[in-house]
Amino acid sequence: MSTLKATQFKSAIGSNQAQRETLRSLGLRRIGHTVEVQDTPQQRGQLHAVRHLVRVEEA
């Protein structure tokens, strides 16, 4: 299974509660923080929900 590298580049201030919880469930804590997540449909859906706050690249 491949992995995706997600980096938070924008603040979660001003976003709704569900988006902040999605960032937390992905493991992102602050601007500039990078995590690697499995490339599954569930993870892709979470990344899509916060696509305006994160940058995603293949790892």
DSSP string, 17-47: HHHHHHHHHHT--STT-EEEEE--HHHHHHH
| Residue type, position 20, single letter | R
**Global pTM?**
0.92
pLDDT band at 59 (very low <50, low <70, confident <90, very high): confident
- pLDDT tens, position by position, 2-55: 999 999 999 999 999 999 999 999 999 999 999 999 999 999 999 999 999 999
Question: According to CATH, what is the number of the domain 3-58?
Answer: 3.30.1390.20
Q: Where are the domains of the chain?
A: 3-58
Could you give the CA distance from residue 13 to residue 42 in angstroms, rounded to a whole number? 24
| Residue type, position 58, single letter | E
**The predicted structure's pLDDT at residue 8:** 98
Has residue 1 got a pLDDT over 80?
no
Q: 22 — phi, psi (to 5°)?
A: -65, -45
Could you give the CA distance from residue 52 to residue 49 in angstroms, rounded to a whole number? 8
